[in-house]
Amino acid sequence: MGSFNTVKIFSGSQSEYLAKDIARFFGKDLGGYTLRKFSDGELSPSFEESVRGCDVFLIQSTFPPADNLLELLLMVDAARRASAHYVTVVIPYFGFARQDRKDKPRVAIAAKLVANLLSASGVDRLMTIDLHAGQIQGFFDFPVDHLEGTTVFVPYIKSLKLENLLIASPDVGGAARARNFAKFLNVDMVLCDKHRKRANEIASMQVIGDVEGADVVLVDDLIDTGGTICKAAEIILDKGARTVRAICTHPVMSGKAHDNIANSVLEELIVTDTIPLQRENPKIKVLSVAELFAKAIGRIRDHESISSLFINNQ
């Protein structure tokens, strides 16, 4: 194997809490980085150490506001102009992913636009976890390492030793994700079929499958206002389930989400730390993806396969 370039890990201003843990598991300190702002709010990032010839990993989730995405793009440009050898963006939560197709006339496909912006800024590689839809990987013209939340969630679910475990998807679109969980846990699954009037507002929902006496775990990629998952939990409990829990990789948690979860019939909501929680919530259990990302960074540095990080290869 040939010689390796020096790896340097930097964090954007909004993901430092997670980046510190990733760097610690990797065995390095975070690189020196400063984000300055002009008085009008214009962003001006700079690296406080040389990145010339280095393999640079830039960690930043792109949750709102859009400044987080812009800061990441500017970081990539700064690294490129400072002669970095290879630039990998680590985006634990890839924002704008819900806008991945034209589901009605005259709308943007924001996920593709963000992919184009990352390409234009000079990104060589993307690492992320649980994209809203797996096919978004095809929007990028460079390699994408798409990690899976099952790696951290499945061992936790197994540790609960639930008597009559059943996996559920809160909507038909998440069926493949739920089926994945059901396969790894060797249990059955049910579906909730929802009809929306408009975004964040559900008109009706029904359960497809038998949940009588089951310990149900709802599986989704993100939780925004919590409306869908709380409604699904309520209906599943009404249909005779014993307990209902939920798993969501990305805790967007906007609007009244925290109150909705706290007042819901859910036993607990299990999330990861791809997005920081804005407040404490006794019903929310946070599992960290830091070690998973650190291992993936190590594999990329060593030009090794990351497939061993997926639960079906463990």
Strand, helix or coil for residue 291: helix
Does the annotation count 112 as an active-site position?
no
In this structure, the strands spanning 243-251 and 269-272 are: parallel
How many Cα atoms occupy the beta-carbon half-sphere of 99 within 13 Å? 13
Q: Residue 188 and residue 246: Cα distance in Å, rounded?
A: 16
- DSSP assignments along 48-96, one per residue: SS--TT-EEEEE---PSSTHHHHHHHHHHHHHHHTT-SEEEEEESS-TT
Provide the 10 A C-beta neighbour count for residue 170: 28
- DSSP assignments along 143-191, one per residue: -EEEE-THHHHHHHHHHHT-TTEEEEESSGGGHHHHHHHHHHHT--EEE
Judged on CB neighbours under 10 Å (0-12, 13-18, 19+), 308 is: exposed
Q: Residue 166 and residue 164: Cα distance in Å, rounded?
A: 7
Q: How far from 170 is each of 60, 70, 84, 135, 152, CA to CA, in Å?
A: 28, 32, 43, 20, 20
Judged on CB neighbours under 10 Å (0-12, 13-18, 19+), 271 is: buried
- Active-site residue, from 20, 112, 183, 194: 194
Which amino acids are annotated catalytic? 194
